[in-house]
C-alpha cells in the first residue's frame, strides 16, 4: 500500500481508538500474540506452555492499582492469550532517528493489520505481539515498544518460566504506553525524579520500595537501581495515572 494510503487509513482508525480506550467505563481487552522470534525448537516448546493464566498477573496488578486510584472498575484490563503469529514484525533500526521511528511505526501498524488473526481485529482491543527468544542466545534483546496509535505493542522476551514475571512487567509497561503513559527513566535506565518514583516524598528518599511501571526499576540512590522481580513490587504513580486518564491532570 502506498505510504499516503497508509497515513489516511491509520489516521482515521486511530482517532477512534484513542477515544474508546481512554474513558475506563469498561475493561480494555488486551490480546497477547506469541511469536517464535529465533525459530528455535526450545522457544516453541516454551510458547506451547503459555496460556491466559501466564498473564493473569497483569490483570490482577492493574486491578490492584486501579483500586488504589479509586477507579470504579473491577478490571481495567482483560488480558488473554491469542493465537501464535508466525510472521515477524518489521525491526526498528538500532540507532533509529525519530523519522526512522515514525516510518517504522507506520510499517508496524500495517504489518499488524495484515497479521492479526482473523476475527480478532477490533478498534477497542490492545494487540501485544510478544517475540520470544531462547534465553541461552547471547544476543541482547531489542527494545520493546508500545504505540498509542493503533493500540499496538511489540515486546521482546526470553522464553523461560524464570523470566515470565519480568516479561509481565515489560508487557504491562508497553500496554500502558498504548493508553498514553510516557517513559519516566533517564539514559542510564534509572528513574527521573520525581516522575519515575512511586514515593518521591519518602524520607529518607532511598531506598525506595517499589518501581514505577514506566521505569520498571527500583531506585537505591540517584545513580543506582535494580529491576523489579515481579509486578508485586511495581506501582502506577500519580503522573502515570494522570496520563492514562485515571485521575485528573
Which residues of this protein are in contact with Zn ion, per CB under 5 A?
A: 183
Which residue, 31 or 170, has its beta carbon nearer to Zn ion? 170
The residue assigned the cell 474513558 is: 23
**Which of residues 43 and 241 has its CB atom nearest to Zn ion in the complex?**
241
* Residue 128, SS3 per DSSP: strand
Angle, helices 3-21 vs 98-115, to 10°: value is 80
Closest CB to Zn ion among residues 66, 213 = 213
Q: Which is nearer to Zn ion, 82 or 216 (CB)?
A: 216
DSSP-derived secondary structure letter, 30: E
Closest CB 173 distance from Zn ion, rounded Å: 6
Q: How far is the CB of 4 from Zn ion (least distance, A)?
A: 29
- Distance in Å, CB of 239 to Zn ion, minimum: 14
Tell me which residue of 140, 117, 119, 131 sits closest to 174, measured CA to CA: 131
Q: Which is nearer to Zn ion, 37 or 155 (CB)?
A: 155
Dihedrals phi, psi of 169, to nearest 5 degrees: -65, -45
Q: Rounded to the nearest whole angstrom, what is the least distance from the CB of residue 100 to Zn ion in the complex?
A: 17
Using CB atoms, what's the residue nearest to Zn ion?
183
Q: How far is CA 133 from the centre of its chain?
A: 17
Terminal Cα distance for the chain, rounded:
39
Least Å from the CB of residue 177 to Zn ion: 6
Q: CB of 102: closest distance to Zn ion in angstroms?
A: 16
**Cell numbers representing residue 27 in the block:** 475493561
- Residue closer to Zn ion by CB (options 38, 183) is 183
Distance from C-alpha of 152 to C-alpha of 179, rounded to nearest angstrom: 10
Q: How many CB atoms lie within 10 A of CB 152?
A: 26
Amino acid at each position: 500500500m502506498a505510504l499516503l494510503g497508509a497515513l489516511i487509513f491509520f489516521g482515521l482508525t486511530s482517532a477512534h481508538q484513542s477515544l474508546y480506550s481512554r474513558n475506563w467505563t469498561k475493561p480494555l481487552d488486551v490480546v497477547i500474540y506469541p511469536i517464535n522470534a529465533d525459530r528455535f525448537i526450545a522457544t516453541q516448546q516454551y510458547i506451547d506452555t503459555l496460556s491466559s493464566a501466564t498473564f493473569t498477573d497483569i490483570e490482577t496488578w492493574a486491578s490492584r492499582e486501579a483500586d488504589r486510584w479509586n477507579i470504579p472498575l473491577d478490571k481495567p484490563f482483560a488480558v488473554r492469550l491469542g493465537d501464535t503469529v508466525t510472521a515477524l514484525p518489521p525491526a526498528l533500526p538500532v540507532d533509529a532517528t525519530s523519522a526512522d521511528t515514525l516510518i517504522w511505526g507506520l510499517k508496524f501498524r500495517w504489518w499488524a493489520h495484515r497479521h492479526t488473526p482473523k476475527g480478532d481485529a477490533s478498534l477497542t482491543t490492545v494487540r501485544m505481539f510478544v517475540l520470544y527468544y531462547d534465553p541461552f542466545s547471547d544476543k541482547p534483546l531489542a527494545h520493546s515498544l508500545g504505540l498509542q496509535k493503533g493500540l499496538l505493542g511489540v515486546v521482546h522476551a526470553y522464553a523461560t518460566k524464570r523470566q515470565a514475571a519480568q516479561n509481565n512487567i515489560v508487557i504491562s509497561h508497553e500496554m500502558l504506553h498504548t493508553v498514553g503513559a510516557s517513559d519516566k527513566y533517564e539514559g542510564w535506565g534509572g528513574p527521573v525524579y520525581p516522575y519515575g518514583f512511586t514515593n518521591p516524598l519518602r524520607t529518607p528518599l532511598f531506598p525506595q520500595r517499589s518501581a514505577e511501571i514506566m521505569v520498571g526499576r527500583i531506585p537505591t540512590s540517584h545513580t543506582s537501581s535494580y529491576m523489579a522481580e515481579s509486578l508485586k513490587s511495581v506501582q502506577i504513580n500519580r503522573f502515570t495515572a494522570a496520563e492514562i486518564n485515571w485521575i485528573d491532570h
